[in-house]
Structure 1
Amino acid sequence: MGHATHPPETDLIVPLPDGEHWDPHTIHTHYFSFSIPHAQIGAFLYLRYQPAFPLCQGGAAIFRGTDNINVLDIDHLNYEITMPWPDIDANTITTANGLRIEFMEPGREVRISYASTDGQTKLDLIQTAVTPLLARGHVMPGEENYHNAPGRVPGGSEQFMHCTGQLELRGEHYDIDCYAIRDRSWRQVRKETQGGVPVPPVGWTPMYFGPDLIFNQVGFEAPDTNPEWLGVYEVPDGAPTHHFAWLHSNGENKQITRVRRNVLQRQPHTFASLRQEIEAEDEDGRIYRFVGEAIATATLPAWPNVSFHDSVYRWEDEQGRVTHSTYQETWFDRYHRAVKARSRHTATD
């Protein structure tokens, strides 16, 4: 059955309404990342277009270690909520706050650069594809409800990249050589209304172990793991716990039919996942198991009406192979209030 892919030109889909009325929550996005495991450093490089206005938001967030409780705890943050529409010159996109994305070869090679206004933080990266542009329908729950708008077909893609380059972080130099995922959305309607979608916390778990095992899923914790969301949300018996997943092995794309994710430990103050395990089954019935632990975490401002957390995870497969990659997690206010109330109750027992 395999998994669908997108053509290279989808990297440059960033249309404006051109006189049409578009839902104000319509977005396009570009996301890039990298990690430096020995220094416990992760990065969130993000551009979110809001074409109905038109404006954009985004920038660079670089974090280190696991004690980043508040947004400004991280090592470097330059994330603007309201910027002009970016400058788009052929295959190069540049934001007002200095994030530059050059698609040197769409679908395969991209250069990302950034320099802070104070000159103390800058980066220059080359990312080269190690998987195709794997197609996804949506990443945030609720987007699927708006996929039938006439003439505005939404889409999204994910792709693992070999990332090399340099980082200067407040005067400290680091060489970068890692495998990092990138993703994007176009013409998605991603609502920001209070309360959001009645769904448990969603986790995104990309990992690259080598050409034979590249995996990702987005979904919530399995009900049989006694997750924190029990009693807050109702999930039908037997319902899938993932709404998007894939596996790439030696040039072949596979569908994932089942995911069981179990969070073992959460950060006391932010409630972000610190340790977890995953069991996944592919379309051929093969089962894969992974265990992961956060070596860096950050609370980030990308989505104001949700709690959004990025991290660098150390993942291990059943053969003992180790890799590092981003793990992202988000949830809505109803869940956050419930978990906060439980944590206060536990603290007073």
Structure 2
Amino acid sequence: MSDTDWNSNLGLGFGQHQPGDEFFHGTGEPVDSLTETWFWNFHVAEAAINCFAYCWVHPTLKVVSSGLFIYQGLKASHLECELFEYRDYMSMGVVGDGSDIRLPNGFRAQAIDPLNHVRLTFDDPQRETSVHVDLRAVGVPIMRANNKHFEQVMHATGELTLRGKSYKVDSLPVRDRSWAEPRPENHNPAPPYTWVTGTFGEDFAFNVGSHDDPDRNPDWIDMMPVPARIFNDGWVVVNGEQRRVVKSSKLTTRRGERNSPVTHDYRFEDDRGDAYRITGELIAQTEWGGWSNTSCHLGLVKWDWNGRAGFGESQEVHWNDYVWRMGQARK
């Protein structure tokens, strides 16, 4: 994120998905930072296990970074994950047309039925870890108005073996897909930015991308400038009906020397006028620098919505100014 709006819907409605959106587009302004991504995930909530699987293509540079990592509980480093297997520099041949992404490390993502069924497989005998998980669509993609990004609620089922111990996978993650937009790696003098998802069953799911609300006294309020736009994007799906979030207020509490998120407190409203208060606690977490000039805190959240439990993803980005200023404040 920089001075572009690739992570924002800018208050607009929904776009239209096409079956080909599952596959590699390779379109957009031919700049070095042109980006195309696939994000898949699943979790085993009762064991506090989360899986992050990603494919990130720079079509102009013809370079791919991709892989997966699986972590249980709270980790201080990405290399503390039970499995971290992510390659930074590969040729675009591993992606092909996007229907069957295969990496040299054995990770594979197959589009069995475009926009409806994706199969994830991986096997590492040395680390006694394997993944055999099917992601089947709960609903249609939730497309941004620019028709360059969607999220989609999936039903993940299958088997995970993690360091020799086997688990049944049966969860409702939210995947995402994006293409045709540059993502400059410029410095961003902003406070943390948080992207979260949550599902409470096939009848309700949500997604919000925002900074903390400065009126709620976040940890950075006396040290960082207030961003011009606090809330960037969001949606809810209620019994299959897609609704845009029109306003949102969020407060995240953080701890430790790395200011890792601990809890999230969201208050938001959709375009039908319905209001929501959803709070969550991180039950699994790791840190990963997907870009060298950022630190991304990834995690599995246990959500509470009026006494109803749900689970979902938390991805919070920190930039240099925030990390440096918080370090100075501890001295």
Q: TM (normalized to structure 1)?
A: 0.86
Distance 1:299 1:286 in 2: 34
Using the TM superposition, give the Cα deviation of residue 50 of structure 1 relative to its aligned residue in structure 2, in angstroms.
1.3
Distance 2:147 2:310 in 1: 32
The yes-or-no answer on 1:306 pairing with 2:322 is: no
What amino acid sits opposite 1:33 in the alignment? N
Distance 2:317 2:217 in 1: 19
What amino acid sits opposite 1:276 in the alignment? H
- Aligned partner of 2:267 among 279, 286, 289: 279
- Aligned partner of 1:135 among 143, 149, 173: 143
Distance 2:250 2:86 in 1: 31
Q: 2:51, 2:68 within 8 Å by CA — same for their partners in 1?
A: yes
- Aligned partner of 1:334 among 311, 321, 325: 321
Q: 1:58, 1:81 within 8 Å by CA — same for their partners in 2?
A: yes
Distance 1:87 1:212 in 2: 33
Q: 2:15, 2:147 within 8 Å by CA — same for their partners in 1?
A: no
Which residue in 1 is equivalent to 2:209? 218
Inter-CA distance 87–28: structure 2 relative to 1 (3 Å threshold)? closer
* Percent of pairs with identical residues: 28
* Deviation string, structure 1 residues 145-179 (Cα, Å, up to 9, x no partner): xxxxxxxx871111110000111112111110000
Distance 1:132 1:240 in 2: 29
Which residue in 2 is equivalent to 1:116? 124
Distance 2:98 2:90 in 1: 20
For these two proteins, the number of residue pairs brought into alignment is: 319
The yes-or-no answer on 1:81 pairing with 2:88 is: yes
Q: 1:205, 1:218 within 8 Å by CA — same for their partners in 2?
A: yes
Distance 2:168 2:185 in 1: 37
Cα RMSD (Å): 2.0
Distance 2:312 2:231 in 1: 19
Inter-CA distance 4–22: structure 2 relative to 1 (3 Å threshold)? closer
Q: Which runs of 5+ in 2 are unaligned?
A: 1-11
What amino acid sits opposite 2:20 in the alignment? E
Which residue in 2 is equivalent to 1:170? 163
Inter-CA distance 117–87: structure 2 relative to 1 (3 Å threshold)? farther
Distance 1:90 1:305 in 2: 28
Inter-CA distance 119–331: structure 2 relative to 1 (3 Å threshold)? closer
Which residue in 2 is equivalent to 1:144? none
Distance 2:91 2:133 in 1: 24
* Deviation string, structure 1 residues 79-137 (Cα, Å, up to 9, x no partner): 11111221426721112222211111111111111123736211011111112211136
What amino acid sits opposite 2:124 in the alignment? S
The yes-or-no answer on 1:290 pairing with 2:307 is: no
Q: 2:134, 2:158 within 8 Å by CA — same for their partners in 1?
A: yes
- Aligned partner of 2:26 among 8, 12, 15: 15
Distance 1:198 1:283 in 2: 31
Q: TM (normalized to structure 2)?
A: 0.90
What amino acid sits opposite 1:294 in the alignment? L
Tell which deviates more after alignment, 209-218 or 43-52.
209-218
Q: 2:16, 2:147 within 8 Å by CA — same for their partners in 1?
A: no
Using the TM superposition, give the Cα deviation of residue 205 of structure 1 relative to its aligned residue in structure 2, in angstroms.
1.4
Distance 2:289 2:90 in 1: 15
Q: 1:98, 1:115 within 8 Å by CA — same for their partners in 2?
A: yes
